[in-house]
Structure 1
Amino acid sequence: MASIDVNEADVIVLSEGLKKLDLLFNDINQSLSKVSSTTSTASQLFQPILKKNQQLNVLQYNIESSLNSVASVKDLANDASKHEIILEQSISKAGLKQYINAIHKIDDILEDLNERTNSNDTSEFAGMVTHLRELIFDGERNLQVYFNKLLNSIQPFDPQININKKIPFPYYDDEYLAQMSLILDYFENSTLNEQTVDLFIKQRVRLISQSLAFLEPFTKQITSGPNVPYQKGSSGVNSYTEAMLGFIANENSLIHDLYSKEAARQPVIFAKLCSPIIQTYLKIVKHNKQLLNDNRENTGLFSFELSDKVNDVLRSLRGNKIPEADILNAELMEIQRISHSLFQELFVYINTKTRTMSQLPSDNGVPEPTVDIMSKIRKFSEYKSGCLTTIQAISRSQWLPKDTKATWTVTKNQLEDYSGPSLLSIFFGDAIDYLLFGLEHRAQETLNPQHEIHLLSNKRFPNIQKIGFFLLNNLSLIHQIVQRSEINSILGTSGLQRLENLRKKYINYYVSDWRDLTSILLDQIFVDSSGKVSSKEKDQIKEKFKKFHDGFEDLVSRSKTYRISDPGLKKLLRQEILSLVLPMYERFYNRYKDTFKHPGKHIKYTPSELMNVLNSIVK
Structure 2
Amino acid sequence: MAVGLTGGRHAADEEARAEVDVLNSRLEKTTQLTKKIQACLGRLEATGKSVRDVSGPLNGETKKLQILGNNIDAVIAAIERLRQPADSKNDEEQIIRQGPDKAGLSNYLNSIQRLSTSLQNMESANLRANQQTRTDLQRLIQNGNSSLESHFDKILRGETPMSVEPLNFTTKGRPFPVISQDKIARLSLINSYVGSNATTENPLVKIYAEVRGQYLQKTLVNLAFASVNTAKKTSPGALYKAGTNGIGEYAKALEGMCIAEHENICSIFMRQDWGSVLQLACQVPMAELARTIRELNNHIKAHLSTDCFLAYEVVEIMSSLASTLEERTGELKSTLAAALKPVRETAKVSLAELLDDTKRKVSMLQSIPSDGAPIPIVSETMQRLQSMVEFLRPISSVMISLGDGGWKSAAAANRSTDAIPSLASFDIGADGKEIFAHYCTDTIDALLTALDQKAKMLLRGKSVMGVFLANSITIIERMILESGLAPLLDGKLAVLDTWRKRAKAMYTEACKDLSMQLFDVIHTNRTQRPPSGGIDSASILKGLSSKDKESIKGKFVSFNAGFDDLVAKHKTYSMEREVRNMFAKDVQQMLEPLYNRFWDRYHEIDKGKGKYVKYDKSSIAAVFLSLY
TM-score (norm 1): 0.59
Q: Distance in 1 between matches of 2:554 and 2:407?
A: 55
Show the 5 A alignment for 1:334-353.
334-353=342-361
Whether the 8 Å contact between 2:163 and 2:219 is mirrored in structure 1 is yes
The 3 A distance-change label for structure 1 pair 171 and 427 is closer
Show the 5 A alignment for 1:274-313.
274-289=282-297, 302-313=310-321
Give, in angstroms, the shift of residue 467 of structure 1.
0.8
Give, in angstroms, the shift of residue 167 of structure 1.
1.4
Give, in angstroms, the shift of residue 273 of structure 1.
3.5
The 3 A distance-change label for structure 1 pair 192 and 376 is closer
Structure 1 counterpart of 2:584: 574
Are residues 1:243 and 2:245 paired?
Answer: no
Give, in angstroms, the shift of residue 548 of structure 1.
3.7
Give, in angstroms, the shift of residue 223 of structure 1.
5.3
Q: Distance in 1 between matches of 2:316 and 2:520?
A: 65
Match of 1:592 among 593, 601, 608: 601
The 3 A distance-change label for structure 1 pair 579 and 246 is farther
Q: Distance in 2 between matches of 1:522 and 1:177?
A: 98
More displaced 10-residue stretch of structure 1: 371-380 or 474-483: 371-380
Superposition CA RMSD, Å: 5.6
Amino acid of the structure 2 residue aligned with 1:612:
A
Whether the 8 Å contact between 1:158 and 1:214 is mirrored in structure 2 is no
Give, in angstroms, the shift of residue 472 of structure 1.
1.9
Give, in angstroms, the shift of residue 488 of structure 1.
4.9
Classify the secondary structure of the residue corresponding to 2:508.
helix
Structure 1 counterpart of 2:560: 549
Give, in angstroms, the shift of residue 254 of structure 1.
6.0
Amino acid of the structure 1 residue aligned with 2:530:
D
The 3 A distance-change label for structure 1 pair 507 and 394 is same
Q: Distance in 1 between matches of 2:109 and 2:367?
A: 96
Give, in angstroms, the shift of residue 528 of structure 1.
0.9
Whether the 8 Å contact between 2:399 and 2:406 is mirrored in structure 1 is no
Classify the secondary structure of the residue corresponding to 1:213.
helix
Show the 5 A alignment for 1:252-331.
252=262, 258=267, 266-289=274-297, 302-318=310-326, 325-326=333-334, 328-330=336-338
Are residues 1:465 and 2:463 paired?
Answer: yes
Give, in angstroms, the shift of residue 614 of structure 1.
1.7
Structure 2 counterpart of 1:167: 172
The 3 A distance-change label for structure 1 pair 143 and 298 is closer
Structure 1 counterpart of 2:447: 435
Amino acid of the structure 2 residue aligned with 1:438:
A
Classify the secondary structure of the residue corresponding to 1:392.
helix
Whether the 8 Å contact between 1:156 and 1:210 is mirrored in structure 2 is yes
Structure 2 counterpart of 1:563: 574
Q: Distance in 1 between matches of 2:238 and 2:394?
A: 15
The 3 A distance-change label for structure 1 pair 239 and 357 is same
Structure 2 counterpart of 1:157: 164
The 3 A distance-change label for structure 1 pair 167 and 444 is same
Give, in angstroms, the shift of residue 469 of structure 1.
0.8
Whether the 8 Å contact between 2:148 and 2:190 is mirrored in structure 1 is no
Classify the secondary structure of the residue corresponding to 2:490.
helix
Whether the 8 Å contact between 2:517 and 2:559 is mirrored in structure 1 is yes
Q: Distance in 2 between matches of 1:520 and 1:542?
A: 10
Q: Distance in 2 between matches of 1:308 and 1:497?
A: 32
Give, in angstroms, the shift of residue 501 of structure 1.
3.5
Q: Distance in 2 between matches of 1:229 and 1:500?
A: 31
Per-residue CA deviations over 1:132-186 (Å, capped at 9, x if unaligned) read xxxxx9999999967765x44x7623334655xx31245449xx86556655665
Match of 2:502 among 493, 505, 513: 505
Give, in angstroms, the shift of residue 212 of structure 1.
0.4
Q: Distance in 2 between matches of 1:299 and 1:594?
A: 65
Q: Distance in 1 between matches of 2:147 and 2:449?
A: 83
Structure 2 counterpart of 1:517: 514
Whether the 8 Å contact between 1:223 and 1:230 is mirrored in structure 2 is no
Show the 5 A alignment for 1:114-513.
151-152=159-160, 156-160=163-167, 163=170, 166-172=171-177, 179=182, 183=186, 189-191=192-194, 204-219=212-227, 224=232, 228=236, 232=240, 235-252=245-262, 258=267, 266-289=274-297, 302-318=310-326, 325-326=333-334, 328-330=336-338, 332-367=340-375, 369-370=377-378, 383-394=391-402, 399-400=407-408, 419-447=431-459, 463-483=461-481, 488=486, 492-513=489-510
The 3 A distance-change label for structure 1 pair 575 and 263 is farther
Give, in angstroms, the shift of residue 267 of structure 1.
4.3
Per-residue CA deviations over 1:352-391 (Å, capped at 9, x if unaligned) read 3223333331432134554665566666666544433333
Amino acid of the structure 2 residue aligned with 1:611:
A
Q: Distance in 1 between matches of 2:298 and 2:342?
A: 11
Whether the 8 Å contact between 1:357 and 1:369 is mirrored in structure 2 is no
Classify the secondary structure of the residue corresponding to 1:338.
helix
Structure 1 counterpart of 2:52: none
Q: Distance in 1 between matches of 2:265 and 2:238?
A: 39
Q: Distance in 2 between matches of 1:230 and 1:559?
A: 35
Give, in angstroms, the shift of residue 561 of structure 1.
0.9
Structure 2 counterpart of 1:21: none
- Corresponding residue pairs, total: 478
The 3 A distance-change label for structure 1 pair 336 and 436 is same
Amino acid of the structure 2 residue aligned with 1:499:
L
Q: Distance in 2 between matches of 1:106 and 1:314?
A: 40
The 3 A distance-change label for structure 1 pair 445 and 139 is closer
Q: Distance in 1 between matches of 2:387 and 2:614?
A: 53
Whether the 8 Å contact between 1:292 and 1:300 is mirrored in structure 2 is yes
The 3 A distance-change label for structure 1 pair 480 and 254 is farther
Amino acid of the structure 2 residue aligned with 1:341:
V
Q: Distance in 2 between matches of 1:347 and 1:107?
A: 73
Classify the secondary structure of the residue corresponding to 2:572.
coil
Q: Distance in 1 between matches of 2:312 and 2:157?
A: 42
Per-residue CA deviations over 1:269-320 (Å, capped at 9, x if unaligned) read 5444434432332333344445666776776665444433443343344366
Structure 1 counterpart of 2:622: 612
Per-residue CA deviations over 1:428-466 (Å, capped at 9, x if unaligned) read 322222222222222222345xxxxxxxxxxxxxx1111
Per-residue CA deviations over 1:237-286 (Å, capped at 9, x if unaligned) read 45433432333344456667x47x97766545544443443233233334
Per-residue CA deviations over 1:200-246 (Å, capped at 9, x if unaligned) read 65554343221101223345568549994685255554543343233
Show the 5 A alignment for 1:7-18.
none
Q: Distance in 2 between matches of 1:144 and 1:309?
A: 35
The 3 A distance-change label for structure 1 pair 380 and 171 is closer
The 3 A distance-change label for structure 1 pair 226 and 530 is closer
Classify the secondary structure of the residue corresponding to 2:222.
coil
Amino acid of the structure 2 residue aligned with 1:167:
K
Whether the 8 Å contact between 2:470 and 2:503 is mirrored in structure 1 is yes
Structure 1 counterpart of 2:530: 528
The 3 A distance-change label for structure 1 pair 264 and 569 is farther
Q: Distance in 1 between matches of 2:347 and 2:244?
A: 18
Identity of aligned residues (%): 18
Whether the 8 Å contact between 1:348 and 1:401 is mirrored in structure 2 is no
Give, in angstroms, the shift of residue 556 of structure 1.
1.0
